[in-house]
Chain A
């Protein structure tokens, strides 16, 4: 197997993993601290992408679009928390699933009403549209490297926030034992709104970074949401570290699987069978991984919950 090819695919896997981490971090916090299953997380990703595209069209600048879309998406998240999610804290998970599923339908229709049915377009900034020579003979899109860099920066910032600040301490405590935190006199309501806003901002960041490279359309959040749930289940609910490890793992497994499994099967089985089995197996590989992890560690790789 070509080593250079493996290197590039590895980089692809890392990049997918970083994008998944941005989504998973927000979702695992909401699930871990507030114990709310938030299916509308994918919708916040979509809203981030749409807002960035709209701001870019309005201002003509990619940087301005990013700087504007991020806080606006966080604001949308806070609004959603105040209006819808707050009522769901005492309810059981099924009610939360139903309610947030309704939010998905709402947002999907909203973007269609505001921006129409056609896919929106977002241009890559001119400076990032080119390629970088990593190693002689290997060209990698510059923008994807930027995604990896931004993702790692956010991961590092989140680490500092969670482990070194007071707010981070409260978040960790809330993920570990919510009742105790509330009993100790912390304004849990404010904490929850903050966490949800942070999650929304992260999802929006993932969305606006994905904007130039994917189709910005109604319903774009759902495929990503499914992957995100797989990541947080593997990583452990409520754990940022778990989300990071699991996201990168899922990114790698999915990418390497899609790239090398079908040709591998083609070498063993007949081409006809390989063509049928290969893509099918590659697409379920991450679910097989999830099942495997759950079989050995049902709480996920780095569980945060103790109470």
Chain B
């Protein structure tokens, strides 16, 4: 008699289990924390933690545990740590990655395990198009966006003869392809440089000889520091205006120094963006960490706010996956970029701004927003995504 009662009690408890809310949420955070790109990982981690802090120290009301993992900018290591987070640590949500090559390695394993993958940075075209997944959400942008914005800006400015430079890998080629989608003028040269090339004097001399109206360059990280420094030293900053994306921004400004003044860039957000969420983010970030947040930090901050809004909407019931997905799709949170909504492929529809590097009254270098270039921009790959909702 007692045994049957015990079994009935067990059955009742087990039946009631799925409906109970979790008491904590575990987030796996995969980014590059070593090597030169480690600085971006640090910015993102700092931004993400501030986002949790601003959400009341919890995500969606649940105590949050962030499992930080370093992908070392290697796809195989990224895959290894992703598997560890999924199988050993049993995280509820994976946040990652910075670089698209690592993203392509972890994408399928994470979404196949029916775990939500939120990207705070990488947005390669395959996952915006045919390979889109209901388990993936981007909190940043699709990779082509900033380049398309600069293409439109240069086109609108009436600059008809442009020279292009990018590093010789997939993101470099995508960058110039994105630029050319909106820029319809004459392209005097399309030059691909080596990764981590220390000296650009050969390319800069050719550039000067071609006498273009403008230069569009994409050189992320340390390559950007090298390139812009040498560009300014060659006296080219006064001769040929420099337009860029992901080349002159908060992570590289300090290394470039005054040589960066006058350069233009595009991004989905600038530190001086005029909305209350962004202003609070920048002020608290500078107070807490002692440096100005880059766009990478802002993206990671929005990632935390997105997750918070999702978990709040399902009242902490993390295994209500359908509910979480619907909540993420709604994106009912106040983003640093202003209004935020999702396209059918789970990539944001957002504005892109052009900015110029200036030196303020105290001698500090900053990015000054010069206006919006693309309003409510959707990427071209959404039409290839079969998801409809």
Known: A213-B229, A215-B226. A118 touches B205 (CB 8 A): no
Contact A117 B39 (CB under 8 A): yes
Residue A139 is within 8 A (CB to CB) of chain B in the complex: yes
Contact B36 A121 (CB under 8 A): no
Known: A143-B233, A275-B190. A117 touches B202 (CB 8 A): no
Contact B235 A118 (CB under 8 A): no
Q: Hey, which chain B residues are within 8 Å of A213, CB to CB? A: 199, 226, 229-230, 233
Measured CA separation A119–B190 after assembly (Å)? 28
Min Cβ gap A132→B in Å is 11
Measured CA separation A223–B35 after assembly (Å)? 14
User: In the complex, which residues 251-272 of chain B have their Cβ closer than 8 Å to any Cβ of chain A?
Assistant: 251-252, 254-258
User: In the complex, which residues 238-265 of chain A have their Cβ closer than 8 Å to any Cβ of chain B?
Assistant: 254-256, 258-259, 262-263
Q: Can you give 22 A-B contacts (C-beta < 8 A)?
A: A5-B206, A9-B205, A16-B199, A16-B201, A108-B35, A117-B38, A118-B254, A119-B222, A119-B252, A121-B254, A212-B229, A212-B233, A213-B226, A215-B225, A215-B229, A218-B35, A219-B36, A223-B196, A224-B198, A255-B201, A258-B203, A275-B192
Known: A12-B202, A141-B234, A216-B255. 12 other contacts (CB 8 A): A9-B206, A118-B254, A120-B255, A214-B226, A214-B230, A215-B224, A215-B255, A217-B255, A218-B38, A219-B35, A224-B198, A279-B191
Q: Hey, which chain B residues are within 8 Å of A181, CB to CB? A: none
Measured CA separation A278–B201 after assembly (Å)? 17
Residue A156 is within 8 A (CB to CB) of chain B in the complex: no
Q: Which residue of the partner chain, among A2, A217, A255, A279, contacts B209 with CB atoms under 8 Å? A: A2
Residue B42 is within 8 A (CB to CB) of chain A in the complex: yes
Interface string of A90-132 (1 = CB under 8 A from B): 0000000000000000001000100001111101100001010
Residue A172 is within 8 A (CB to CB) of chain B in the complex: no
Measured CA separation A151–B35 after assembly (Å)? 30
Measured CA separation A120–B35 after assembly (Å)? 14
Measured CA separation A301–B335 after assembly (Å)? 63
Measured CA separation A146–B52 after assembly (Å)? 52
Q: Hey, which chain B residues are within 8 Å of A16, CB to CB? A: 199, 201
Measured CA separation A139–B256 after assembly (Å)? 22
Q: Return the chain A residue nearest B201 by Cβ.
A: A12
Known: A16-B199, A123-B257. A259 touches B193 (CB 8 A): no
Min Cβ gap A154→B in Å is 19
Residue A144 is within 8 A (CB to CB) of chain B in the complex: yes
Min Cβ gap A25→B in Å is 18
Contact A5 B209 (CB under 8 A): yes
Min Cβ gap B196→A in Å is 5
Measured CA separation A222–B229 after assembly (Å)? 20
Residue B197 is within 8 A (CB to CB) of chain A in the complex: yes
Measured CA separation A214–B223 after assembly (Å)? 9
Measured CA separation A262–B224 after assembly (Å)? 22
Residue B376 is within 8 A (CB to CB) of chain A in the complex: no
Interface string of A1-15 (1 = CB under 8 A from B): 010010011001101
Min Cβ gap A204→B in Å is 16
The number of chain B residues touching the other chain, given as a range, is 35 or more
Q: Hey, which chain B residues are within 8 Å of A9, CB to CB? A: 202, 205-206
Min Cβ gap B223→A in Å is 8
Q: Hey, which chain A residues are within 8 Å of B224, CB to CB? A: 215
Q: Hey, which chain A residues are within 8 Å of B20, CB to CB? A: none
Residue B168 is within 8 A (CB to CB) of chain A in the complex: yes
Contact A121 B255 (CB under 8 A): yes
Known: A119-B252, A219-B36, A220-B198. A5 touches B205 (CB 8 A): yes
Q: Return the chain B residue nearest A279 by Cβ.
A: B192
Residue A210 is within 8 A (CB to CB) of chain B in the complex: yes
Min Cβ gap A131→B in Å is 6
Q: Hey, which chain B residues are within 8 Å of A259, CB to CB? A: 202-203, 205-206
Contact B198 A210 (CB under 8 A): yes
Contact A255 B202 (CB under 8 A): yes
Interface string of B49-79 (1 = CB under 8 A from A): 0000000000000000000000000000000
Min Cβ gap B164→A in Å is 10
Contact A119 B255 (CB under 8 A): yes
Contact A121 B256 (CB under 8 A): yes
Min Cβ gap A226→B in Å is 10
Interface string of B179-219 (1 = CB under 8 A from A): 00000000001111110111101110110010000000000
Min Cβ gap B149→A in Å is 23
Min Cβ gap A297→B in Å is 27
Q: Which residue of the partner chain, among A108, A118, A124, A216, contacts B39 with CB atoms under 8 Å? A: A118
Residue A280 is within 8 A (CB to CB) of chain B in the complex: yes
Q: Hey, which chain B residues are within 8 Å of A255, CB to CB? A: 201-202
Q: Hey, which chain A residues are within 8 Å of B168, CB to CB? A: 279-280, 283
Q: Which residue of the partner chain, among A141, A219, A283, contacts B194 with CB atoms under 8 Å? A: A283
Q: Which residue of the partner chain, among B42, B205, B209, B222, contacts A220 with CB atoms under 8 Å? A: B222
Known: A15-B201, A119-B222. A141 touches B235 (CB 8 A): yes
Q: Hey, which chain B residues are within 8 Å of A216, CB to CB? A: 255
